[in-house]
Structure 1
Amino acid sequence: MDAWQLDALTRRARRLAAPGQRRILGIAGAPGAGKSTLAAELVAALGGSAVLVPMDGFHLAQAELRRLGRADRKGAPDTFDAVGYAALLARLREPAPGAVVYAPAFDRALEEAVAGSIAVAPDVPLVITEGNYLLHDDEAWAPVRAFIDEAWFLELDPVVRVRRLVDRHVRFGKERPYAERWVSDSDEANARLVAQGRHHADLVVPVAVGPG
């Protein structure tokens, strides 16, 4: 994402971070579209006015995925606790006076969610959440959109996105041939599902990338 585009998105996010009222900004998009990178950059730019609560903290544990027979589809909609995620967004949208809300985070080194990792103080005006299925309207995911005040959908050239995904899997320990198969068979199937929710976004962001 180029500097001009990031600056424009930061200005838009800053308008949501008005003191005295909690807002939730959701950033959706296919795997590898740059959601987590953009969300982290926005939080850094906004300082203490924003906190990041990723959807990935609601991955089901590996042991539970194996019990359910879904370990080979990790990342699909039914491999998350969608109801728990919606319940957390409801708590975050209406913070209780003086109460800190603790959210889970996903540890890529462990490949597991870790509870109580993210503290959200009641006076933080903007929560930024990002993930694949924020705009997914099937079954348990349908209530999520109602808790998000503004939703963005990131679009990145598919060739660049797939290359980034493979490189990310390799960086976290997968052999490249395995990573390529996983992206082709799993991540891209999820990407097609994610694209179906694009029309629910308030803003579609074509991600600009530099050469290389």
Structure 2
Amino acid sequence: MLFLRLPLLVLLTIISAPIWAAEPALYQAIQRTIVAQLPTTTVSYDIEILSPTKGFEPLAQCDEIQASFNQPPARIAGRMIMKLQCDHSAQPIYAQVHVSVVADYWVAAHDLPAQHTLTADDIKIVQGEINRLPRHALLAETETMTLYLGQQLKRSIPANTVLQATLLAAPHVVNMGDDVVIELQGDGFSISRVGTALANGAINDTIRVRLNNQQLLTVKVIGPGRAIPL
């Protein structure tokens, strides 16, 4: 078993010199593939190669080793299987690795009630091993802020709770029982009808409405009190 601690953006430190000197391309291929998928908020990471080194001997003569994930992981953390191949060979070799990642993530800055709309003041960025976080924990990345600020909490949470995607939902712009204007537009014409929402809906949600003639219609919510027929 080999263990290597690799601080991000720092040159690779060889821990086991004889093995790394013998097969540097193998480890560089694994490292390169893993680093390309790390979260942008990564501070440091550890790669532990669990497979016996003897199993890698067929790769010793490779001019170039290609490394990929046997199954694309949802998050680069924990134990995973990597597929290693020579540039001229179709027969892969599989390596089991364990990756530990320290990165920035979101927690609640204070107690937050259910149905609260999340703002920047409600979050606190902390640093820790994401291996230990819930599966849907929100990392402190730019796209995370774009996607989740403005969403509403499904339930109340205490301060310092790890924020998760599954705790949040887009705010409803249509509530059950609301009047909904159903808009239909085409070349040279525009028609609208009013119905009653039979469910709550956020933008892009599909709900059913009841028209004045009692007809049921499936629509897509496009804004507060507005929808288009499907």
Indicate the TM-score class for this superposition, using the shorter chain for normalisation. Answer: under 0.3
User: 1 or 2, which has the higher helix percentage?
Assistant: 1
Relative contact order, higher structure (CA 8 A, sep 6+): 1
User: 1 or 2, which has the higher strand percentage?
Assistant: 2
